[in-house]
Chain A
Amino acid sequence: MASTPDGPTLGQGTRADWKRLIAERAIAVVLFLSTFLSVLITVGIVAVLLLEAITFFADVSIFEFLTGTRWTPLFSSKQFGVLALVAGTTLTAIMAMVVALPLGLLSAIYLSEYAPNSVRKIVKPVLEVLAGIPTVVYGYFALLFVTPILRAISGDISVFNAMSASIVMGIMILPMVSSLSEDAMRSVPRNLREGAYALGSTKLEVSTLVVVPAALSGIVSAFILAISRAIGETMIVTIAAGQNPTFTLNPFVPIETMTAYIVQVSQGDAPAGSIEFKTIFAVALLLFTITLLMNLLSQFVVRRFREEYE
Chain B
Amino acid sequence: MAMISQTEFQRKRARRKWMGRAFYGLCLLSVAIALAMLGILLVYLFIQGVTGISWSFLTSFASRHPDQAGIKAAILGSIYVVLIAGAVSFTLGVATAVYLEEYAARSKFARIAKINIANLAGVPSIVYGLLGLQIFVHSLHLGNSVLAGGFTLALLVLPIVIVAAGEAVRSVPPSLREGSYALGATRWQVIWHMVIPQAFPGILTGVILAVSRAIGETAPLIAMGALTFVPFTPDSPLSRFTVLPIQIFNWTSRPQAGFHEVAAAGIIVLLVILLVMNAGAVILRNRFQNKWE
Contacts and interface: CB of A to CB of B under 8 A. Distances in A.
A23 interface: yes
A205 interface: yes
A41 B216 contact: no
Interface stretch (A57-65, A76-84, A184-192, A283-291): A283-291
Contacts of B91: 34
Contacts of B291: none
A12 to B, nearest CB: 12
Contacts of B131: 41, 44-45, 48
A197 B217 CA distance: 47
B84 interface: no
B271 interface: yes
A133 B225 contact: no
B239 interface: no
Interface in A95-147: 102-104, 106-107, 109-111, 114, 123, 126-127, 129-130, 132-137, 139-141, 143-145
Nearest to B246: A136
Given A34-B95, A143-B252, A295 B34 contact: no
Nearest to A51: B134
Of residues A31, A126, A139, A233, which shows the largest number of chain B Cβ atoms within 10 Å of its Cβ?
A31
Contact of A123 (B31, B33, B222, B248): B31
B99 A295 contact: no
Interface string A155-175: 000000000000000010011
Interface string B32-47: 0111011011001100
Interface stretch (B50-58, B62-70, B183-191, B199-207): B183-191
B134 A48 contact: yes
Given A20-B186, A49-B130, A266 B30 contact: no
A262 B117 contact: no
Interface string A17-45: 00010011001101110110111011011
Nearest to B44: A145
A234 B103 contact: no
A39 B95 contact: no
A74 interface: no
Contacts of B34: 103, 107, 127, 130, 171, 174-175, 178
B187 to A, nearest CB: 6
Interface in B80-102: 91-92, 95-96, 98-100
Nearest to A127: B34
A104 B33 CA distance: 10
A5 interface: no
Contacts of B113: 35, 38-39
Contact of A38 (B17, B116, B271): B116
* Chain A binding surface, main DSSP class: helix
Interface string A266-300: 11000010000000110010011001101110010
Task: Say which size band chain A's interface belongs to.
Answer: 35 or more
A47 to B, nearest CB: 9
A249 interface: no
Interface residues of B, number: 85
Interface string A213-253: 00000000000010011011111001100000000000000
Contacts of B186: 10, 20, 24
Interface in B123-137: 123-131, 134-135
A202 interface: yes
Interface centre among A30, A145, A208 (most CB of B within 10 A): A145
A24 B127 contact: no
Residue from A41, A107, A135, A295 whose CB has the most chain B CB atoms within 10 Å = A41
Contact of A114 (B24, B98, B128, B216): B24
A15 to B, nearest CB: 16
A69 interface: no
B252 A144 contact: yes
A286 to B, nearest CB: 11
Contact of A130 (B17, B38, B159): B38
Most chain B CB within 10 A, of A144, A145, A207, A280, is at A144
A134 B245 contact: yes
B127 A287 contact: yes
B210 interface: no
B126 A107 contact: no
Given A37-B92, A41-B120, A202-B17, A130 B37 contact: yes
A208 B24 CA distance: 12
Given A145-B40, A232-B122, A263-B126, 18 more contacts: A35-B109, A39-B116, A103-B30, A103-B33, A110-B28, A135-B218, A137-B216, A140-B252, A140-B267, A145-B41, A204-B24, A229-B122, A235-B245, A259-B124, A259-B126, A262-B129, A280-B223, A287-B126
Interface pairs A-B: 5 shortest CB-CB: A232-B124, A134-B216, A106-B30, A34-B95, A110-B27
Interface of A: 7, 9-10, 20, 23-24, 27-28, 30-32, 34-35, 37-39, 41-42, 44-45, 48-49, 51-52, 102-104, 106-107, 109-111, 114, 123, 126-127, 129-130, 132-137, 139-141, 143-145, 171, 174-175, 178, 202-205, 207-208, 225, 228-229, 231-235, 238-239, 259, 262-263, 266-267, 272, 280-281, 284, 287-288, 291-292, 294-296, 299
